Amino acid sequence: MNFRTFLLGFITVIYSTPSLAFDAGEHAILGDMAMAQYFPEYENRITNLEADIDFRYGHLIAMSGDMYKSIEEMALDEPSYLKDYYLHNRKKLKECIDKEIRSIRESKEYEKCSETRMVKRKFRYLTLAHDNYSHFAWHNIKNYINFHEKALWFAQLAYLKCDKKQWNDNNAGCKEKSHELKRLVNKSSYKKRLSKKYEYLDSILARRRLTKKYLIELSKKKMIDLALFANSYADHFLSDAFSSGHLRVPRSQIDAFVDADADIKQLFRKSKREEGSVISGALTQYLHNLDGDLVGVQVKNSRGEEFILRGDKQLFAVDNGIEMAGEPDKQMRAKLPIEAIGLSLKEVFDVIENGNYNSLTTYTALQLVPFVDFDKEKSLQEIVSGHIEKEGSVKAALDKMSPEMKNLYRSAMLFEDLSYKKFFTRFSQSIDPIMQKFRRQIEKEMEEERWAERIPKALKTALVNIR
């Protein structure tokens, strides 16, 4: 590692706390309100599969994707030696999320939980907006479909499991279900069992992974909880789609733009990260923070509903401001994401109760997903050009980034021996061709059957014409 790499990494650790998604409290309130409104008979209490700790569904949506990188990592236990180190305490994470919920319900200003455990936990995944394609336009829809599909599969396994009462009432029927469950699990891509070293040393060596043996032996209650853990991941990305900064920011194309630049040749071209860099993360945050800031974006959905979408930390805010409006239960802006989560959960509970599902009649939550109404909104290129002109200079326009991100962007450009102003100007003048590449990617991927058959026609049309 050269000195430049080390120094930039050090600066990153010192400064990086930005998040480019609904905050934990916003995600959590949406999930809890969906459960209360659509499933009042269900106890909103999902238990970790191995550790003795319960979560509300809202907690799970808040933690999915932002604080944990996989369903297994969140649903299973931590290695014992990590539970009190590296800030892995899950009870503290719950307390932090609840603090943000209280700030929405009780205060006039959104109070983000700055408790060290929360910041460090989120730092693992969303550092500098690296590795977060999944939260942005098109990618979040694909991730919703992927995780919802997995949740429905777990729900089907839950249906095939019998509790003690069911075994006593219908022993023959439960045997038949058990046979079918084993058949489905054995057809899956999960490993049959863990290697011996993980079986014997799991508590201190590594977190357990899901295996065929583990799924077959799991109780009905825990399989239901696993389905909800999986669907919370789906609903995290679903709710991200209701934030104005996630409607059309071309996240992967911004990475490609930075990587293709002839002058970016030292630190970032050789980055080992799969997705993102300091530079592309900063440019992403600029667009994310700019699109619909305070005033919102005019959108439609596939049901024909028209409304204004606000950005992160503004879901429960007053119109054209950042003060919390209070009484989130009465906020019309949250009505549709809450209904979308309710529809998503209903499909999971229906499969738990009735068994098989038809992929062509599920994913109904996507009918509510918003897209930009271009009859009333400018293109992203027009918005960026207008913003720079209004601010009067590139330097002033960059204040749309957070102070931490702006410092990191300028430091990165210094390491590359480039003018941060000139590079940003180059980027700002390239939004239209970047969006053109984004449209081509979406159109090409939309041909794949798994997306085409699940996404509503109006949403498809909007996505392939995104600008």
Domain boundary among 177, 199, 217: 217
For residues 261 and 200, state if they share a domain. no
Question: Would you say residue 98 lies in a domain?
Answer: no
Look up tokens 């480039």; give the residue. 418
**Structure letter (DSSP) for residue 366:** G
pLDDT attached to residue 118 = 52
For residues 333 and 399, state if they share a domain. yes
pLDDT attached to residue 83 = 58
Q: Residue 46 pairs with which residues in a beta bridge?
A: 55
Instruction: Give 148: exposed, middle or buried? Use CB within 10 Å, 0-12, 13-18, 19+.
Output: buried
For residues 170 and 280, state if they share a domain. no
For residues 256 and 377, state if they share a domain. yes
Q: 5-19, 318-332, 355-369, 372-386: which has the highest mean pLDDT?
A: 372-386
Handedness of CA 415, 418, 422, 424 (dihedral sign): negative
Task: Give tens-digit pLDDT for 378-428.
Answer: 999 999 999 999 999 999 999 999 888 898 889 888 888 889 999 999 999
For residues 254 and 202, state if they share a domain. no
Higher pLDDT, 168 or 194: 168
For residues 210 and 266, state if they share a domain. no
**Structure letter (DSSP) for residue 370:** -
Question: Would you say residue 124 lies in a domain?
Answer: no
Question: Would you say residue 254 lies in a domain?
Answer: yes
Closest among 221, 156, 151 to 183, alpha carbons compared: 156
For residues 311 and 460, state if they share a domain. yes
Question: Would you say residue 48 lies in a domain?
Answer: no
Question: Would you say residue 132 lies in a domain?
Answer: no
Closest among 17, 22, 18, 19 to 309, alpha carbons compared: 22
Question: Would you say residue 292 lies in a domain?
Answer: yes
Look up tokens 């992927």; give the residue. 146
For residues 388 and 290, state if they share a domain. yes
CA distance 32 to 40: 10
pLDDT attached to residue 356 = 79
Instruction: Give 372: exposed, middle or buried? Use CB within 10 Å, 0-12, 13-18, 19+.
Output: buried
- Please check the confidence at residue 127 and state whether its pLDDT lies above 70: no
**pLDDT band per the 50, 70, 90 thresholds, residue 128:** very low
Q: Residue 307 pairs with which residues in a beta bridge?
A: 299
Question: Would you say residue 109 lies in a domain?
Answer: no
DSSP string, 52-108: S-EE-HHHHHHHBTTTBSSHHHHHSPPPGGGTTSTT--HHHHHHHHHHHHHHHHH-S
For residues 301 and 169, state if they share a domain. no
CA distance 180 to 220: 15
pLDDT attached to residue 84 = 55
For residues 249 and 196, state if they share a domain. no
Tokens at residue 89, please? 């305490």
Task: Give tens-digit pLDDT for 240-265.
Answer: 999 999 999 999 999 899 988 878 76
Inter-axis angle of helices 171-187 and 139-160, nearest 10: 150
pLDDT attached to residue 318 = 83
Q: Please give the average per-residue pLDDT across 227-232, as a whole number.
A: 98
Parent domain of 415: 4-15+244-344+359-464
**pLDDT band per the 50, 70, 90 thresholds, residue 371:** very high
Task: Give tens-digit pLDDT for 172-201.
Answer: 999 999 999 999 999 999 999 876 655 555
Task: Give tens-digit pLDDT for 63-98.
Answer: 888 778 789 888 987 666 555 544 457 777 888 889
Handedness of CA 112, 131, 140, 76 (dihedral sign): negative
Look up tokens 């990153």; give the residue. 12
Phi, psi of 308 (to 5 degrees): -105, 130
- Please check the confidence at residue 110 and state whether its pLDDT lies above 80: no
For residues 311 and 411, state if they share a domain. yes
For residues 193 and 307, state if they share a domain. no
Domain boundary among 217, 235, 256: 217
Task: Give tens-digit pLDDT for 200-209.
Answer: 555 555 556 8
Instruction: Identify the helix (H) or strand (E) that includes residue 147.
Output: helix 139-160
Task: Classify 325 as helix, strand or coil.
Answer: coil
Instruction: Identify the helix (H) or strand (E) that includes residue 164.
Output: helix 164-169
CA distance 167 to 159: 13
Domain boundary among 217, 236, 264: 217
Domain count, the chain: 2
Handedness of CA 149, 151, 154, 160 (dihedral sign): negative
Question: Would you say residue 74 lies in a domain?
Answer: no
CA distance 348 to 368: 18
Tokens at residue 223, please? 């399989």
CA distance 140 to 239: 9
